[in-house]
Amino acid sequence: MSPVDDERLAPRSVVRRLLARPELGSAVGAVAVFVFFSIVADSFLRASSLGTVLYASSTIGIMAVPVALLMIGGEFDLSAGVLVTSSALVSSMFSYQMTANVWVGVGVSLLVTLAIGAFNGILLVRTKLPSFIITLGTFLMLTGLNLGFTKLISGTVSTKSISDMEGFPTAQDLFASHWTIGSVDLQVTIAWWLGLVVVATWVLLRTRAGNWIFAAGGNADAARAVGVPVARTKIGLYMAVAFCAWISGQHLLFSFDVVQSGEGVGNEFLYIIAAVIGGCLMTGGYGSAIGSAVGAFIFGMTNKGIVYAQWNPDWFKFFLGAMLLLATLLNAWVRKRAEAAA
């Protein structure tokens, strides 16, 4: 039977149906922001500028994907920002101190980062404390460890350069290369970002794990009652965050060669912001990976668009806040209209 034949349903156009989806409803805000800056900022529409905006969006977007998944699963990760730095520091310092091929460092870093993610998740499910306080704890601890270890090992607050070490060029190809197509400079992070969005969307919508993520965030007790392994799902989500932090961390290392130990603080909020603008609920159970990408793109466009528009930089944050709020309002309004349309 086709549901549209039911006399209890009013017919609804395809456009409205699409706009009601969390993935697509949020795109309206992105289009609006794009059009707006195309008009007010001369240089915004240039191909080269697009490359810059996409790069800025991708560096947030890569992390916004797992953070969105985690939020759908009902949890936060405040340590995501510094974890990126930790991951970069581990590869760099391990390779340097052991005079090893940088790939060894990269591998060790993956293990360490995943272990930290697992630590977050296990502590969460064991202690049943709110994830805010758990990951706040790891956030502070990692911040301290980043600084403490770097000073202990390098003697300064940043790592030593590893650009002349074995394996650096190949690792750089993977994590920090860029292609120039015409006048557009496309960073490899954009490919990583899109790849992650596709994989995350597939996982969310077409696998059992995805079903479990929605359930764990939507109603953890009910999910447990019908046999969903909620604890394992949440630990897995934290490890997914860690995995993406590892990618971001390696990008940081291989594109800037030297890592400052104090970096990453505060970035966790950018990821959450991207996820929320893209329609993820703070309370869990609702959202999408594509939405997080749209959110990251809105953030990236606004953030850089204000620079392209050459507005007075003293008011930068004001414009940023106002634009983000407007874009999100527009998203929400469109989605509501689309849903409510009889």
Binding site for a second copy (CB under 8 A): 127-130, 132-134, 136-145, 147-148, 151-152, 266, 269, 272-273, 276-277, 281-283, 312, 314-322, 324-325, 328-329, 332
Q: Tell me, rounded to whole angstroms, the distance of Cα 276 from its chain centroid.
A: 11
6: left (phi over 0), alpha (psi -120 to 50) or beta: beta
User: What is the nearest approach in angstroms of a second copy to the Cβ of residue 255?
Assistant: 26
Which H or E element spans position 179?
strand 178-181
The option from a second copy, another protein, none interacting with 100 (CB < 5 to 8 A, set by class) reads none
> Is residue 12 within the footprint of another protein (CB under 8 A)?
yes
Residue of 175, 214, 246, 254 interacting with another protein (CB under 8 A): 214
> Is residue 158 within the footprint of another protein (CB under 8 A)?
yes
> Is residue 182 within the footprint of another protein (CB under 8 A)?
no
Phi, psi for 318 (deg, rounded to 5) = -60, -50
- What three-state secondary structure class fits 104? helix
What is the biggest distance separating any 2 CA atoms in the chain, rounded to whole angstroms? 75
User: What is the nearest approach in angstroms of another protein to the Cβ of residue 263?
Assistant: 5
Q: Judged by CB under 8 A, which stretch of 44-52, 97-105, 128-136, 239-247 contacts another protein?
A: 44-52
Site for another protein in 287-316 (CB under 8 A): 300, 303-304, 307-310, 313-314, 316
The option from another protein, a second copy, none interacting with 177 (CB < 5 to 8 A, set by class) reads none
Q: CA–CA separation, 213 vs 210, rounded Å?
A: 5
By beta-carbon proximity to a second copy, the closer residue of 97 and 283 is 283
> Is residue 234 within the footprint of another protein (CB under 8 A)?
no
Q: CA–CA separation, 84 vs 245, rounded Å?
A: 5
Residues 125-154 as x/- pattern, contact with another protein by CB under 8 A: ------------------x--xx---x---
**Tokens matching residue 265:** 């603080």
User: What is the nearest approach in angstroms of another protein to the Cβ of residue 248?
Assistant: 9
By beta-carbon proximity to a second copy, the closer residue of 3 and 155 is 155
Question: CB under 8 Å, gap of 24 or more: what pairs does 321-328 form?
Answer: 323/33, 323/36, 324/273, 324/277, 324/298, 324/299, 326/29, 326/32, 327/29, 327/30, 327/32, 327/33, 327/277, 327/298, 327/302, 328/29, 328/276, 328/277
